[in-house]
Structure 1
Amino acid sequence: MKHINVLLRNIPFTVQNDAPWAGVDAGVKGLLEADIPVLKAYGDFDSVTEDDLKLFKQSLALDIVPSAKNFTDSELALLSLAELGYTAIDVYGALGGRKDHELMNIQLLAHEELRNIDIRLLNETNEIMLLTEGEYILPRDYDKKYVSFIPLTMIHS
């Protein structure tokens, strides 16, 4: 399994593994401030200052995309990482903040090109992932208080 972590926003986060990191937009700033090496950087960088961007360009190879586009920075990052062969992606900063971004990040789990990748959207109280058809068993040491199953397809009655 080829694993990577992704930080979407400059927020506090707790590292749960030793996989490499990719940053998206202001998430790059969060990683650099935490002295975490940035393997990949994605986005239009419209949520950072000009000084931040100058700093990023000194230490990272950036391919800055236009702000007006038909996909989100999160989608760009996840699709690119999938294309690079990553099969497990833990995403921090996908939940909370702007509701439109949060809903889009959740919907990305069902994206045709991402649905077979083990993507987890993580924060201090949630672990959201897409479960495809099959049988699943929670481990004995599962430490979450609640488990919910919410379909991402239309429900027909």
Structure 2
Amino acid sequence: MRPAVLVTPLAKTIPVVENAIYVGVDAGVLTLLEQEFPVEFAVGDFDSMSQEAYEKIESLVKIEKHPIMKDESDAQLALRLVKERGCSPIYLCGALSKRIDHTIANLRLLMYHYPDLILWDEKQNVSLFQRGKHVLKNT
């Protein structure tokens, strides 16, 4: 399986993950382009960027645009799409910063829907241990 790195608008730093596909979540695609990562596609309603910025990325990246009024968040849409492509693990960058409503929603995605999800931020990350024995090292 190939890893996926999903970049939200709150992500400032993006991890380099070998053999990963990089996906822009809404305006997170701008961060990917600014930092010169290869973008597989971008997904979202793109309500967090100007029309001018949207037109710019539309000419550079494959876009999967969704309506603003929908039952899934932009991150959920991206997770579903990379999961359908068989990606694992999945890094969700900018998942634990600034907006408590998004942080809680992302923790719920990890706990109940995507056990191979890694909520990743520059200073912290959250993932689930699968059933079995684990050795933790103090670093």
Unpaired runs of 5+ in structure 1?
144-157
Name the structure 2 match of 1:100.
101
Contact 2:118/2:126, CA 8 A, preserved across alignment: yes
Matched, 1:55 2:56: yes
Q: Percent identity?
A: 31
The Cα shift of 1:10 comes to 5.0
Contact 2:119/2:126, CA 8 A, preserved across alignment: yes
SS at match of 1:17: coil
Contact 1:42/1:63, CA 8 A, preserved across alignment: yes
Matched, 1:2 2:2: yes
Matched, 1:12 2:12: yes
Q: 1:13 is matched by which residue type in structure 2?
A: T
The Cα shift of 1:15 comes to 2.1
Matched, 1:128 2:126: yes
Contact 1:10/1:30, CA 8 A, preserved across alignment: no
Name the structure 2 match of 1:74.
75
Q: How many residues align?
A: 138
Change (3 A) 1:70 1:62: same
Name the structure 2 match of 1:91.
92
Separation in 2, partners of 1:68, 1:50: 18
Q: RMSD of the alignment, in Å?
A: 1.7
SS at match of 1:59: coil
Matched, 1:42 2:49: no
The Cα shift of 1:14 comes to 4.3
Contact 1:5/1:91, CA 8 A, preserved across alignment: yes
Contact 2:7/2:14, CA 8 A, preserved across alignment: no
